[in-house]
Amino acid sequence: MGKAFAAIVVLLLASAAAPLPAPAGDAGRILFLMRADPPGGSADPQVKARLEQLGYSVTVSEGLAGQGGAGMPDPCGFDLVVMSSTVRSNQFTAERSVITRLRDMGIPLVTWENDLLDDLWMTGLRRDSDFGELETGHYFWLVRAPHPLAAGIPAGLGTWTEARTPAGWGKPGLGADVIMTWPGEPEKSTLFGYEAGATMDHDHLAPARRVFIGMENNSFTRMTDTGRKLFDSAIAWARAGRKSCGAKR
């Protein structure tokens, strides 16, 4: 009887000490830049749901809606900006003040839009040389296992999406932490990050953490467990590097 009572007390104490799930928004505020109905569809709704499941408060913004990005919320009001590959990249390149602000802001940024890597100074300018897309990018070669972006996944060959899923890639600047590459072509990185202050392309110093993860529009719903871990780590690592905004206007 005494042993049974003691066991019950231990269980009750353990339950009381166990952390409760984080209420929505406790992890931080995310500005999610995306496009609602891109040709071929997208997994953006599932991405948003995952971010909310992780405890983030997510504000969705589609397009720039006006000169100078007047319809886009101020990134300085958020802890992290996430940019999907579904954004109309030509809008951002046409509105140079907007892309410059996103590039120079002291808010961390995670993107999987390889067409804007050059504009964000995360890579050089040449398509298919400095950035591009793989028709079947489901394999990876993980090269920097100790880094937090690697999500505890061991170095070597693996898969992060289902077969025949396209992937974006970039050839980052010398200051980047390259986490994984396309097997056999180490210059094509499908996951890399810049720490704040690291040298990006064009000798630009990262004003806050920057991450590229080479998903395409529908990759998120085709990810393996490994892919989901890498995505979660990309978000968490970037968010942890929030600084004062310092965006150039």
CATH code, domain carrying 143: 3.40.50.880
pLDDT of residue 92: 84
Which residues have CB under 8 Å from 4's CB, separation 6+? none
Across 209-215, average pLDDT? 98
Dihedral, CA of residue 80, residue 55, residue 194 and residue 148, to nearest 10:
170
Least confident of 18-22, 145-149, 164-168, 242-246: 18-22
Q: Which residues of 32-50 are buried (b: 16+ CB within 10 A; e: fewer)?
A: bbbbeebeeebbbeebbeb
pLDDT of residue 240: 94
Backbone angles phi, psi at 194, to 5 degrees: -120, 130
Residue 67: band (very low, low, confident or very high) from pLDDT cuts 50, 70, 90? low
Question: Of 204, 24, 237, which Cα lies nearest the Cα of 124?
Answer: 204
Across 49-62, average pLDDT? 96
Residue 94: band (very low, low, confident or very high) from pLDDT cuts 50, 70, 90? confident
Question: Which one-letter amino acid corresponds to residue 124?
Answer: G
Q: Would the pLDDT of 14 be above 80?
A: no
Question: Of 26, 70, 88, which Cα lies nearest the Cα of 51?
Answer: 26
Residue 25: band (very low, low, confident or very high) from pLDDT cuts 50, 70, 90? low
Across 203-207, average pLDDT? 95
Residue 126: give the domain boundaries: 22-239
| Contact call for residues 80 and 107 (beta carbons, < 8 A) | yes
| Residue 206 falls inside a structural domain | yes
| Residue 230 falls inside a structural domain | yes
pLDDT of residue 245: 78
| Residue 218 falls inside a structural domain | yes
Q: Would the pLDDT of 125 be above 50?
A: yes
Task: Look at the block and give the residue holding tokens 């002291």.
Answer: 106
| Residue 53 falls inside a structural domain | yes
| Residue 16 falls inside a structural domain | no
Distance CA 176, CA 172 (A): 6
Q: Would the pLDDT of 11 be above 60?
A: no
Least confident of 22-31, 124-133, 204-213: 22-31
Q: Would the pLDDT of 185 be above 80?
A: yes
Which residues have CB under 8 Å from 76's CB, separation 6+? 105, 107, 245, 247
* C-beta atoms surrounding 166 within 10 Å: 19
| Residue 246 falls inside a structural domain | no
| Residue 146 falls inside a structural domain | yes
| Contact call for residues 37 and 62 (beta carbons, < 8 A) | no
pLDDT of residue 70: 62
pLDDT of residue 96: 85
Query: What is the separation of C-alpha 140 from the centre of its chain, rounded to a whole number of angstroms?
Result: 17
Query: What is the separation of C-alpha 52 from the centre of its chain, rounded to a whole number of angstroms?
Result: 14
Distance CA 130, CA 46 (A): 29
| Residue 92 falls inside a structural domain | yes
Distance CA 99, CA 68 (A): 10
Residue 11, CB half-sphere, CA atoms under 13 Å: how many? Answer: 6
pLDDT of residue 16: 34
Q: Would the pLDDT of 5 be above 50?
A: no
Across 51-57, average pLDDT? 97
What are the pLDDT digits (tens) for 138-179? 999 999 999 999 999 999 999 999 999 999 999 999 999 999
How many domains in the chain? Answer: 1
pLDDT of residue 90: 86
